């Protein structure tokens, strides 16, 4: 299994480096812009409320950078399977002592490792921002939540990809995304949207929420609950992928 893990890092080294660089670029830009904006706000704004509003905008951009970081590595994780979609490789790996269990397990392990890369990078970036006294919103909860949500998405996606192939698996994933968009569209048409009626008060409530320690304790509690739910699902997804792998091999073109 160690050899398979080395293979993944060796063959995907360039993409992995680009993903790490891409993950770091946006947060670094946000840190620089936030610090410059803070300095400029002190010179320009006499009203503390306007200065706080600018810092809140920078805080939203910082949360966006967390989302973008996971998007970079999500794109990387989506390429882990397609390169091994060959019948010769599938029959070869089946005959090795590691077998299908080790091969599939390494794919799932790579998702966890790259997800930890994102958490580590964003934690370091946030520490740098905190040392510069320019941290407007603590994104720790968002980063941890992003890690477990990424595991959940791969837990849903990978069994489909191993069973039906990358093309069909991605098609099913796209259908799920479209279905979610339709559900959100229907909700905004017929559901209770009073909380979005006044965007100014909505953002006020949002920033009051993220700056309230008591509310954040509840968020961390929910993250713990999500972790307890996601990890068993992730393992069950792995077992299902192992079971379906050889059935999906017949769908490979070569």
Report the Cα 26 to chain-centroid distance in Å. 15
Contact of 120 with 144, CB cutoff 8 Å: no
Phi and psi angles of residue 72, each rounded to the nearest 5 degrees, phi first? -60, -45
The token pair that represents 94 in the structure block: 């089946």
Residue 159 CA to residue 155 CA, distance in Å, equals 7
Residue 195 CB-density burial (10 A; 0-12 exposed, 13-18 middle, 19+ buried): exposed
Contact of 136 with 61, CB cutoff 8 Å: no
Q: Give the contacts of 98 (CB within 8 A, at least 6 positions apart).
A: 1, 3, 4
Contact of 202 with 190, CB cutoff 8 Å: no
Residue 150 CA to residue 112 CA, distance in Å, equals 9
* DSSP annotation string for 172-230: HHHHHHHHHHHHHHHHHHHS--GGGTSHHHHHHHHHHHHT-HHHHHHHHHHHHHHHHHH
pLDDT tens across 110-141, in order? Answer: 888 888 888 888 888 888 777 766 666 777 77
pTM comes to 0.78
- Specify the pLDDT at position 138: 73
Contact of 111 with 147, CB cutoff 8 Å: no
* Eight-class DSSP state of 120: H
**pLDDT tens string for the chain (254 positions)?**
677 778 888 878 888 888 888 778 877 777 777 777 666 666 665 656 666 666 677 777 777 777 778 887 877 777 777 777 777 777 777 777 888 888 888 889 888 888 888 888 888 888 877 776 666 677 777 788 888 888 888 888 888 888 877 777 777 777 877 888 888 777 666 666 665 555 566 666 777 777 777 777 777 788 888 888 888 999 999 999 888 887 776 766 56
């Amino acid at each position: 299994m160690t050899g398979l893990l080395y293979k993944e890092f060796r063959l995907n080294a360039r993409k992995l480096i680009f993903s790490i660089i891409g993950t770091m670029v946006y947060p670094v830009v946000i840190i620089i812009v936030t610090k410059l904006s803070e300095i400029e706000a002190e010179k320009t704004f006499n009203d503390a409320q306007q200065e706080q509003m600018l810092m809140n905008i920078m805080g939203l951009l910082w949360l966006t950078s967390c989302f973008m970081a996971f998007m970079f590595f999500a794109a990387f994780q989506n390429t882990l399977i397609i390169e091994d979609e060959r019948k010769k490789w599938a029959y070869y790996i089946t005959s090795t002592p590691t077998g299908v269990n080790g091969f599939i397990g390494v794919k799932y392990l790579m998702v966890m490792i790259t997800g930890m890369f994102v958490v580590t990078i964003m934690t370091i970036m946030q520490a740098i921002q905190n040392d510069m006294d320019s941290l407007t919103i603590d994104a720790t909860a968002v980063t941890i939540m992003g890690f477990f949500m990424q595991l959940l998405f791969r837990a849903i996606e990978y069994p489909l990809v191993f069973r039906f192939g990358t093309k069909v698996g991605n098609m099913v994933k796209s259908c799920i995304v479209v279905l979610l968009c339709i559900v959100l569209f229907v909700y905004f048409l017929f559901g209770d949207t009073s909380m979005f009626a006044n965007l100014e008060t909505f953002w006020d409530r949002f920033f009051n929420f993220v700056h309230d320690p008591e509310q954040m304790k509840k968020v961390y509690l929910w993250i713990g609950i999500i972790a307890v739910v996601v990890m068993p699902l992730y393992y069950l997804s792995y077992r299902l992928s192992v079971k379906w792998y050889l059935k999906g091999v017949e769908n490979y073109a070569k």
